[in-house]
Amino acid sequence: MPLTPHADGVVARAPGKLYIAGEYAVVEPGHRAVLVAVNRFITLRITPCSPAGGYAGTIRSRLYDTGSRPWRHRPQDGVAEDVGCDDDYVISAIRVVEALVAEGGGRLGSFNLGISSELDEADGRKLGLGSSAAVTVATVRAVAGFYGLSLDDSRVYKLAMLASDAVQPIGSGGDIAASAVTGWVDYASPDRVWLRRARQRAQARDSTGDLLEADWPGLCLRRLPVPSVRLQVGWTGAPASTPALVAGVQAGSRGADDVYSSFLRASQDTLASLTTAIEDDDAGQVMSAITRNRVLLVQLGRISGRVIETPELTRLVEIALDHGATAKSSGAGGGDCGIALCPPATDLFALRAAWETAGIRPLDLSVYSQDSSAACAADVAEARADSLTASPVKVTP
C-alpha cells in the first residue's frame, strides 16, 4: 500500500557522538573507528500543515539567522528544496526520504519542522558533539515516521549518509553511524567515490530503495558491548573545524606516502585490538589500545604539520594518566574535546576536579544506547510531556 503522510505530529531525536579511536584513518574506505553516542540530543518535531503561497512548510531552528526558512516541493519534479538559501542537511534528508516515498508510489505531504539542539553550549559555542550528523539522522527518522516508513538503524544510517554526502562529502560518516546506531559502535567507512556515483545513479533512476538494500563496499556498522571502563569527557573550550583539519592533514601527508600508509596500517591494527578488548571487557587492553592510538595521532599531526593534540589536550591527557586512566584527543582534535577511559578504581571526582583546575571543563555526558528499555521509555515520556501540538504525537522510532 502506498505511503501516506501522517495526520498527526511526529517527534524524533538523535544523539550526539564522540570519537573513541580511529580518527583520520576512518576517512579512508574500509578503515575502522570506535565511537559512542552521548546523552545529548537534537530533537525534531514535524507538524502537518496545509501548503500555502507555494510553500510546503517552514523549518524552524535557532541556528538559522532568520529563525525559520520556508521550503517547498519544486514545481517541475516535486523535489524538496529550501527557498532562497542553499540546501542544508535538513532539506537534503527530507529529499532522500521523500525519494523513497515517491518511488513507492506515496503521496508527498506538507509539514512544518521545528529543530532544537542540546549539542552546543547555551551561548552557541561548538562542543564538537556532531550536531550536523545528529540533525541529519533526526530528520531522516522524523520524516520517515511522518510517512509511516519503518526503518532499521542501518537504513537510517544509509539514508542519512546519502543526505550528508550531497551537502558535505568530506567526512567518514562515523558521526552518522554513532548517532543512528547509538551505544558503542564499531564502524568502517564505505568507499565514498563508489557512494557518490551510486547516489547520482539512484537519483537519476529513482532507485534509492535499491541502494538502501545494496551492500556498500567497505562499510561496517556494528554495535559493541558496553565495556566496564568509564568514559569521561573534557572540553578545551576551543572550537575546531573538522573539514579544515581533515583537508590540512591529508594535504600535509601527501609526499609522505610510506609514513601515511604505515599510519593507516597501525591504526587498523590498533582498532582490531581495541574492538577485541571491548568485546572481552579487558580494561588493560582497552587502555593500551587507546594509548597506542594517541601516539599514532600525535605522529600523524607531526608528519602533516598540523596540531591534532593541542597543549590543552596534552594537559587533559596527562592529568588523566596521573589518575590511573588513559586519554586522547577525540575527533579531529585541534581543540574541542578529549576523552578519558577510566578503570573502575579511578577516582572520577578527583580527575574532574584536577581538569577543572587546569582549565579543562569536564562535561556531564554519558554513553547513550537507544535500545535500553529505560532510555526508550524516557524518550517517549519526554516527547509526550513537552509536546506543544494539540494533536497526538507519534514518537519514532
Question: Can you give the binding site for ligand PMV, defined by CB under 6 A?
Answer: 19, 23-24, 26-27, 128, 130, 171-172, 174, 242, 246, 331-332, 336
- For the chain, how many residues are written? 397
The smaller minimum CB distance to ligand PMV, of residues 79 and 256, is found at: 256
Report in angstroms how near the CB of residue 24 gets to ligand PMV at its nearest: 5
Nearest 5°: the CA angle 218, 102, 142 is 70
Shortest CB 71 distance to Mg ion, Å: 29
Give the C-alpha separation, 263 to 275, whole Å.
18
Among Mg ion, ligand PMV, none, what does residue 24 contact (CB within 5–8 Å per kind)?
ligand PMV
Nearest residue to 116 via CA among 156, 73, 67: 67
Question: Smallest distance from the beta carbon of 74 to ligand PMV, in angstroms?
Answer: 30
| Closest CB to ligand PMV among residues 118, 379 | 118
Q: Choose the contact partner of 304 out of ligand PMV, Mg ion, none; CB within 5 to 8 A by kind.
A: none
Which of Mg ion, ligand PMV, none is residue 153 near (CB under 5 to 8 Å by kind)? none
What backbone torsions phi and psi does residue 38 show, to the nearest 5 degrees? -115, 160
Q: Is the dihedral of CA 107, 108, 112, 115 positive or negative?
A: positive
Tell me if 245 contacts Mg ion by CB under 5 A.
Answer: no
Cα-Cα end-to-end distance for the chain = 21
Residue closer to ligand PMV by CB (options 266, 353) is 266
- Residue 128 touches Mg ion, criterion: CB under 5 A: yes
DSSP class of 199: H
When binding is defined by CB under 5 A, the residue of 145, 234, 331, 338 that contacts Mg ion is 331
Q: Minimum distance from CB of 129 to ligand PMV (Å)?
A: 8
Whether the CB-CB separation of 340 and 235 falls below 8 Å is answered with: no
Closest among 116, 119, 117 to 388, alpha carbons compared: 116
Backbone phi, psi, residue 205, to 5°: -105, 10
Residue 24's alpha-carbon distances to 104, 189, 261, 300, 329, in angstroms, are: 38, 11, 12, 9, 12
Query: Residue 120 CB, nearest distance to Mg ion (Å)?
Result: 13
Cβ 338 vs Cβ 322: under 8 Å = no
Q: Which three cell numbers stand for residue 149?
A: 516508513
Examine residue 23 and tell whether it contacts Mg ion (CB under 5 A).
no
Name which of 37 and 143 has its Cβ closer to Mg ion. 37
Cα–Cα distance measured from residue 355 to residue 351, given in angstroms and rounded to the nearest whole number: 6
Look at residue 132 and give the partner it binds from ligand PMV, Mg ion, none, a contact being a CB closer than 5 to 8 Å depending on partner kind: none
Scan residues 65-94 and list those touching Mg ion (CB under 5 A): none
CB 27 within 8 A of CB 168: no
- Binding-site residue total for Mg ion (CB under 5 A)? 5
Q: Which CB, 231 or 246, lies closer to ligand PMV? A: 246
Number of neighbours of residue 384 by Cβ within 10 angstroms: 12
CB of 130 to ligand PMV, least distance (A): 6
E-assigned strands of 49-88? 57-61, 68-73, 80-82
**Residue 174 binding target from Mg ion, ligand PMV, none, CB below 5 to 8 Å by type:** ligand PMV
Contact pick of 151, 332, 340, 363 for Mg ion (by CB under 5 A) = 332
| Residue of the chain from 118, 165, 312, 336 that contacts Mg ion (CB under 5 A) | 336
112 vs 131, which CB is nearer to ligand PMV?
A: 131
Residue placing its CB nearer to Mg ion in the complex, 317 or 332: 332
* 3-state SS, residue 100: helix
In the complex, the residues that contact Mg ion under the rule CB under 5 A are 128, 240, 331-332, 336
